Amino acid sequence: MAATSVVVLDRGNNTTCTINLHGATVVSWRVNNQEQLFVSKQAVFDGKKAIRGGIPFVFPQFGPWNYGPQHGFARIVRWNLEKPPERLASGDIEAIFSLIDSDFTRAVWSYPFQLTYRLILREKELHSNIAVYNPSKESTFSFNLLLHTYFKVPDVRRCQITGLQGCTYLDKTTNEGALYQETRDVVTIGEWTDRIYQNTPHEHIITNVVSGRKMRIQKCNFPDTVIWNPWVEHAKEMNDFGDDEYPNMVCVESGHVSSPVILLPGMGFEASQILQVM
């Protein structure tokens, strides 16, 4: 892919965020030169396939889709750079990306839409603000939205994820589609994990991320939290993921997926996430 496909927010002090316009995928977030996101060594950057790692943008569908690709089309189309990186008065760096419907998107999903994705890079934080707008005068559409964040970790078995106790979850590793309730005060991962936790609180903390630090996730208008790690067997099934990479990542995904957002003509929806290295 051409170098012009990549946009870099550079805050100084080796704190940067790199966005590939393919899917507006955040492919790197470095804080003091420490990479915080996992991208597979086997990730494909061909401008077609979704990028395996970083923060893929999931819209308008989460999961398999009868009409189009798994996890929707936003992660596999080229976005526009609406506003190039700019330093704010605070010293933070902001850039804005946008996506509107095209022949390609209308072929699978017939609605006009406008997506705006604003990223702000702070000293130890990455802010994501998303706005979805329905410009139609007559049609209502419904959608899922999710930030599929792959956190880089030295060993996923040593991570603890807070904020899930008491939450109902759908366990996607079982066929029944049954709902369970989380009893643990912290969730740990020691096997194939694929769960949609519902009505989760605004904040989670993941322990033992890069350099043994903690990562705080704060979210607004994202009622669900998906936790995913493919583990040994499912890692092997993915061509764009190394067989031995699963211990080095955990996906903790902020989303609106267990129920759709319904957007009436002329209406907008906003959601946001803040990632903070503690």
Ligand X SMILES: O=P(O)(O)OC[C@H]1O[C@@H](O)[C@H](O)[C@@H](O)[C@@H]1O
| Residue 52 assigned to a binding site | yes
Compare residues 22 and 122 and give the one whose CB is closer to ligand X. Answer: 22
Is there a binding annotation on residue 165?
A: no
Match 């077609």 to its residue by tokens.
48
- Please give the Cα distance from 54 to 70 (Å, whole number): 17
The 3-state DSSP composition of the chain as helix, strand, coil percent (nearest 5) reads 10, 45, 40
Q: Say if residues 23 and 105 touch (Cβ distance below 8 Å).
A: no
- Judge if the upstream peptide bond of residue 60 is cis by omega within 30 degrees of 0: yes
Is 253 among the catalytic positions?
A: yes
Per-position b or e across 43-71, b if 16+ CB within 10 A of its CB: bebebebbbbbbbbbbbbbbeebeebeeb
Closest separation between CB of residue 271 and ligand X, Å? 16
Least Cα distance to 153 among 194, 235, 214, 219 occurs for: 214
Q: Given the rule CB under 6 A, which residues bind ligand X?
A: 50, 70-71, 148, 172, 194, 226, 228, 253
Closer CB to ligand X, residue 121 or residue 167?
167
- Tokens 């790197």: give the residue: 28
Nearer to ligand X, 158 or 172 (CB): 172
CB of 38 to ligand X, least distance (A): 13
Q: Is 194 helix (H, G, I), strand (E, B) or coil?
A: strand
d(CA 129, CA 210): 24
Question: Which amino acid type is present at position 185?
Answer: D
| DSSP-derived 3-state class of residue 98 | strand
Interatomic CA distance for residues 93 and 125, integer angstroms: 11
Nearer to ligand X, 17 or 250 (CB): 250
Tokens read off for 6? 């990549």
22, 148, 204, 256: the catalytic one is 148
Radius of gyration of the chain (CA): 18
**Pick 70 or 110: Cβ nearer ligand X:** 70
Rounded CA separation 177/169 (Å):
10
Please report, in range form, the residues annotated as the binding site for substrate.
52, 70, 75
Please report, in range form, the residues annotated as the binding site.
52, 70, 75
Residues known to be catalytic:
148, 253
